[in-house]
């Protein structure tokens, strides 16, 4: 692989945002995802290649390590920050159509729940894998999700709940979506959620980590 692409991958993997980032120590003072992505574009590497070969590869490694519990939220967020710094430079190419999304997914933390770390991690991983994410934020009602589905009829739906007390709202939302849109896939996640619960409420997929969600979505389009 091109040397600069490999460097970008490493920056995403270890959360090296830009030259000033103190972490990781062995890359101190060196260019980060921000500078390297800019440089790669200037070298004439096309945006799609940077996304697929550098960023997606980096996120894959991060996701893998998160699944294996080798890294946790702090490291994921650092990786996300590096990823976002790179994506900033690629945005114009998404807008121009030079990069195509694999599909769309609506993400939301369910009604009554204001926690967004988990959802944001999933968002980052899914976006990093080339999907368009419609992020409805936290404390989201079923009406809001249905409205988003009207606008994006093919989209999958990803729901997050961190509180045991809001899992019931998740159940109500899943039931309502399945009643009205039985074909749209629903993915669920969050600390208290598990596959047993998914089965009980009739959602399509549960993953304990973002990487699982990415794999599931990619399987739907491949």
Partner 1 sequence: MTGKELIKEAFALKEPERIPWIPFVGCHGGNLIKKKADEYLKSSDLMIRGLSKAIELYNPDGIPVAFDLQIEAEALGCKLQWADKNPPAVISHVLSEKSISDLKIPSQKDARIPVVLEVATTIRKNYPDIALYGLITGPFTLALHLLGTDIFLKMYESPDEINELLEFTKEVAKAMACYYIDAGCDVIAVVDPMTSQIDTGSFETFISEPETEVFELIRSKNVLSSFFVCGHAQHNIELMCACKPDNVSIDENIPLEYVRDIALKNKISFGGNMKLTVVLLMGSVDDVYQEVIECLDRGGKKGYILAPGCDLPMNTPQENLMAVKNLLHDPYQQDVVRTLEKQENVRELLNMKDYGITDKVIVDVITLDSESCAPCQYMVEAVKQIAPHFEGIVEWREHAIKEMDSVTFMNSLMVKNIPTICIDGKITFVSKIPPKNELINAIQKRINEKLRLKISSKRARIYVIGKSQKEFEQIKEHINLAIKETGRELEVKYTTDKEMQLSFGVSVTPAIVIADYKLKSQGEIPKVEIIREWIKELD
| Percent helix / strand / coil, the chain, rounded to 5 | 60, 10, 30
Give the residue with the Cβ less far from partner 1, 60 or 209: 209
Q: How far is the CB of 160 from partner 1 (least distance, A)?
A: 13
Give the residue with the Cβ less far from partner 1, 56 or 191: 191
Element (H, E) at 69: none
Asked if residue 114 lies in contact with residue 138, where contact means CB atoms within 8 angstroms, the answer is yes
- Residues counted in the chain: 222
Q: How far is the CB of 25 from partner 1 (least distance, A)?
A: 10
Give the residue with the Cβ less far from partner 1, 168 or 218: 168
Report the side by side order of strands in the sheet with 186-189: 132-135, 104-109, 156-160, 186-189, 205-206
Binding site for partner 1 (CB under 8 A): 15, 21-23, 69, 71-75, 77-78, 81, 112-117, 120, 139, 163-168, 171, 191-192, 194, 196-197, 200, 208
Q: How far is the CB of 8 from partner 1 (least distance, A)?
A: 19
Give the residue with the Cβ less far from partner 1, 158 or 189: 189
Q: How far is the CB of 103 from partner 1 (least distance, A)?
A: 27
With 0-12 CB in 10 A as exposed, 13-18 as middle and 19+ as buried, what is 97? exposed
């Amino acid at each position: 692989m091109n040397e600069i692409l490999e460097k970008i991958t490493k920056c995403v993997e270890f959360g090296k945002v830009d030259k000033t980032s103190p972490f990781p120590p062995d890359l101190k003072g060196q260019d980060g995802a921000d500078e390297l992505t800019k440089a790669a574009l200037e070298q004439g590497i096309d945006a799609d290649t940077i996304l697929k070969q550098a960023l997606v590869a980096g996120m894959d490694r991060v996701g893998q390590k998160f699944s294996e519990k080798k890294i946790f939220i702090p490291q994921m967020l650092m990786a996300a920050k590096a990823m976002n710094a790179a994506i900033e430079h690629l945005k114009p190419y998404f807008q121009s159509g030079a990069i195509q999304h694999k599909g769309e997914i609506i993400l939301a933390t369910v009604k009554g729940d204001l926690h967004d770390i988990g959802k944001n991690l999933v968002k980052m991983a899914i976006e990093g894998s080339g999907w368009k994410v419609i992020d409805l934020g936290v404390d989201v009602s079923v009406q809001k999700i249905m409205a988003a589905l009207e606008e994006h009829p093919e989209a999958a739906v990803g729901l997050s709940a961190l509180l045991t007390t809001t899992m019931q709202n998740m159940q109500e939302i899943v039931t309502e979506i399945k009643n009205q849109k039985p074909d749209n896939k629903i993915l669920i996640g969050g600390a208290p959620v598990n596959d047993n619960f998914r089965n009980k409420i009739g959602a399509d997929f549960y993953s304990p980590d973002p990487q699982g969600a990415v794999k599931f979505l990619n399987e739907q389009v491949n």
